[in-house]
Amino acid sequence: MTAQRRVVAEVLDGEHVHLTADEVHARAVAKLPEISRATVYNTLGELVSLGEVIEVSTDKRAKRYDPNAHRPHHHLVCAQCGAIRDVHPTGNPLSDLPDSERFGFTVSDVEVTYRGLCPNCAAA
Amino acid sequence: MTAQRRVVAEVLDGEHVHLTADEVHARAVAKLPEISRATVYNTLGELVSLGEVIEVSTDKRAKRYDPNAHRPHHHLVCAQCGAIRDVHPTGNPLSDLPDSERFGFTVSDVEVTYRGLCPNCAAA
DNA sequence: ATCCTACATTGGACTAAGTCCAAGTCAAGG
DNA sequence: CCTTGACTTGGACTTAGTCCAATGTAGGAT
């Protein structure tokens, strides 16, 4: 556990947000100016493998990193401004997929993304 | 409706697959050698706005284009080799999202991605 | 306390995917 | 036949991310 890794972990711990790798890097630099982008990518990759952080691809551009990995949840995204909220739907989508629709796959995970307009963008 | 647009539409009509923009371009070039990448992107963008084609971001790298836009469906992706199948789960995830979890959003769409291993990769 | 070694970090080059734009082309109407 | 406007082209540019060789460092062994 090096200083760099601690800083990256701190950035994600701080508030519960969904940051891109570049945003994580920017905030990490604020705490430890000489940290490099490569290290941020490495560390994020490790956190993901450890299951501490989830990669979310709600955005077409960049992956986002969600530190709220321990409580299963899904995402609600504003199609206009890109705002993201964590949501907890009832029911388990995995049980909605009958065997006949699994094509022999071993299905282990499901990711649900709701899209719509946030109150702000809907008003505008 | 120009020759270029017809070719792009044909490429997507042919078989029911999930192609990246580059794959679409490659196949379009086979039919109309002088077609440019920019035109393919433009045309794909228009098809998406028209609702003829769906953008799928199952892959971390490139967007994929799914011509099966008229029958609502979701996707099952192999975490290893990236194979994609269309699936039709029972139930409607939209109804699984209570008002209290909508944060004032106008929710209009939901995208479900199942992940797992395809028979091939599971065997290996 | 010092040395070693393995691993972490750095920075810069590189790639992939996509966007943007100025200039060229083409078809249709006048 | 000329003009107009939309479509297309190709290349430069941007963004996100990966790779790699060189350097630095933490912590165990001595």
User: Are B78 and B106 part of one and the same domain?
Assistant: yes
User: Are A54 and A100 part of one and the same domain?
Assistant: no
Q: Give the per-residue pLDDT at B59.
A: 76
User: Are A7 and A51 part of one and the same domain?
Assistant: yes
Touching A: B residues 5-64, CB under 8 Å: 55, 57, 60, 63
Rounded to 5 degrees, φ, ψ at A115 are: -125, 150
What share of chain A in percent tops pLDDT 90? 65
Tell me the per-residue pLDDT of A74-119, one tens digit each, with 9 for 90 and over.
Answer: 999 998 888 899 999 998 889 899 999 999 999 998 999 999 999 9
Task: Report residue B35 as tokens.
Answer: 């077609």
Tell me the per-residue pLDDT of B4-37, one tens digit each, with 9 for 90 and over.
Answer: 899 999 999 877 789 999 999 999 999 999 899 9
Q: Give the per-residue pLDDT at A1.
A: 76
Task: Report residue B76 as tokens.
Answer: 């099952």
Tell me the per-residue pLDDT of A20-78, one tens digit each, with 9 for 90 and over.
Answer: 999 999 999 999 998 999 999 999 999 999 889 999 888 778 899 999 888 889 999 99
Question: In A12-72, where do the E strands start and end?
Answer: 19-20, 54-56, 64-66
Residue A105 sits in which domain range?
A: 74-123
Domain end, chosen from A23, A41, A66, is at A66
**Nucleotide nearest the Cα atom of A36 (by C1'):** C10
Please, which contacts does A71-75 make with residues 24 or more away whose CB atoms are closer than 8 Å? A74/A111, A74/A112, A74/A113, A74/A114, A75/A18, A75/A112, A75/A113, A75/A114
Mean pLDDT of chain B: 91
DSSP string, B32-90: STT--HHHHHHHHHHHHHHTSSEEE--SSSS-EEES--SS--EEEEETTT--EEEE--S
Domain end, chosen from A41, A66, A91, is at A66
CATH of the domain at A42: 1.10.10.10
Number of domains in chain B: 2
Nearest to A116 among B55, B105, B118 (CB): B105
User: Are B52 and B88 part of one and the same domain?
Assistant: no
A56: closest CA of chain B, how far (Å): 10
- Cross-chain residue pair B118–A102, CB shorter than 8 Å: no
CATH of the domain at A111: 3.30.1490.190
